[in-house]
Amino acid sequence: LLLLLPLLLVPLALLARRRRGRRTPPLSLLVVAGSGGHTTEILRLLSCLSESYSPRHYVLADSDKMSEAKIRSFEQKRAETFPKSQFTLHRIPRSREVRQSWISSVVTTLYSMLYSLPLTNKLKPDLILCNGPGTCVPVCISALLLGLLGIKRSIIVYVESICRVETLSLSGKILYYFSDYFIVQWPDLKEKYPKSVYLGRIV
């Protein structure tokens, strides 16, 4: 329930704007998946969401070979409970490799944004959910640009990985200042980053 609280703010806000008796509209959700544990954690979070979060658009790095299989397996099981469930998969260039230098990361991130911006504009998600892979930086920046241009305002929810106990990931350090909700899973991080929301271990 604590996990769902920040995510439920979006449909509740939309519901308040509508007349009584009308059904809450579905929310388009963009999910940034990452290789290894990032995808496993994000899918655990998604398993808590209702069918209102549909369609779900997954964005992953073009060099990520494992995440697609995990996502398809997850969505296949989800379809057993929600037959009308919809999802799409999209690939963009990886913005940063492990141990890649800062200078070269800027170049590759800008290159990744060339793909992220038109994709985000096409999907126009209501909500973006990410948890630390480098791919989420160009996607979230693209969404912020679309919001500044008045094209589409997307809510960004960032959940720092459970493995980050005392320091934020590089993606977290960047998106801490731009996300609407920044969730951490360890109390030390909450003390260091006051804007964050501490909910304990949620994955």
Distance (Å, whole) CA 136 – CA 126: 16
CATH superfamily of 26-198: Glycogen Phosphorylase B; (3.40.50.2000)
Tokens of 194: 């006051």
User: Mean pLDDT, to the nearest integer, of 113-126?
Assistant: 96
Which has more pLDDT, 22 or 95?
95
53, 78 contact by CB (below 8 A): no
| Domain assignments of the chain as residue spans, ordered by start | 26-198
Average pLDDT over residues 89-97: 86
Alpha carbon of 35 to those of 4, 146, 189: distances in Å?
A: 24, 27, 23
pLDDT digits (tens, 9 = 90+) for 8-58: 445 444 444 444 444 557 899 999 998 778 899 999 999 988 889 999 999
Instruction: Select the more confidently predicted residue: 118 or 109.
Output: 118
Please give the C-alpha separations between residue 76 and each of 5, 35, 60, 70, 73, in angstroms, as whole numbers.
Answer: 26, 20, 18, 10, 5
* Model pLDDT, residue 84: 86
Do strands 181-184 and 155-159 pair parallel, antiparallel, or not at all (unpaired)? parallel
Better-scored residue on pLDDT, 186 or 85: 186
The per-residue pLDDT for 194 is 94
Burial (CB < 10 A; 0-12, 13-18, 19+), residue 134, is buried
Residue 48 tokens, joined: 């808590």
Average pLDDT over residues 94-102: 70
Of residues 150 and 7, more confidently modeled: 150
Length of the chain: 203
- List alpha helices for the chain, DSSP H: 4-16, 37-46, 67-81, 102-123, 136-148, 170-175, 187-192
The larger pLDDT score, comparing residue 11 to residue 138, is at 138
What CA–CA distance (Å, rounded) separates 140 from 176? Answer: 11
User: What are φ and ψ of residue 91, in 5° steps?
Assistant: -120, 140
| Cα–Cα distance measured from residue 156 to residue 127, given in angstroms and rounded to the nearest whole number | 6
What integer pLDDT is reported at residue 129 of this predicted model? 96
